[in-house]
Amino acid sequence: LMKINNISIVIPILNEEKNLIRLIKEIEDVKNQMNLNNFEIILVDDNSTDNTCKILNNIKSKKKFVRYFIRKKKRRDLTQSLFIGFNRSLYENIVVMDGDLQHPPRYIKKLLQVFFKNKADVVIGSRNLFKKRGPGLNFFRFISSLFIIYIINFLLDNKTTDPLSGFFIFKKRIYKKNKKKLFGQGYKILADIIYSCPEKLKILDCDIFFDSRKSGKSKMNLLVLLQLIIFIIKSFLLKWKIRI
């Protein structure tokens, strides 16, 4: 019988007041269904301006497995929020997901089963956009994501069908061992982890459908795109050991 335990779910959030209660409820349903022990949810708030903090306080008082931290920096950054969560996490197996319900919590079970069954280092909730476009992407996001994924796979090797996914599970030791090598900024932490770490990782994809955002707005903007382009260029130069 496969034993699945020691799970930290780290979720970066920003102005998700309308999504938090449902998000925690759906994750807790998975926890109870799988009978998970040594389990926690860590929410890292990037200095929200809505009622997120008040809701987090209320959730924490009722759910002992929920912890949260506030990143009080002027410049918001999802990767830096995740680093706080990784550093504060209690357990070795870390699930990363968004707080806007585009990453359906029901898929956590599937990711965990693939991860533990195959003794993987990383399992990615892949949108597999070359085969399908789920309801969570409009046409522009779909085409731009396809283009960026193609560029990443062409320049940096094809390690996954979805290096832009924000929904995945990985071993914390990978972060601890390689954190000084990480680009460390922007909104695409998965690509940073799998392309900045020199060791050969066992990476598996797990096809899922992302949902459309339930409330709030996307954090994607030109700065996020620029950070991603800079990361790709830097990683390509490092791959071929080209100095500028």
d(CA 166, CA 169): 10
In order of 21, 41, 79, 193, the CA distances from 177 in angstroms are: 34, 23, 17, 11
pLDDT 10s digits, 75-131: 889 999 999 999 999 999 999 999 999 999 999 999 999 999 999 999 999 988 877
User: What is the residue type of 26?
Assistant: E
Looking at residue 48, its pLDDT comes to 93
Looking at residue 208, its pLDDT comes to 92
Taking residues 141-159, what's their average pLDDT? 87
Q: How confident is the model at residue 244 (pLDDT cuts 50, 70, 90)?
A: very low
Name the pTM for this structure: 0.90
Looking at residue 211, its pLDDT comes to 81
The angle formed by the CA atoms of residues 194, 159 and 241, to the nearest 5 degrees, is: 65
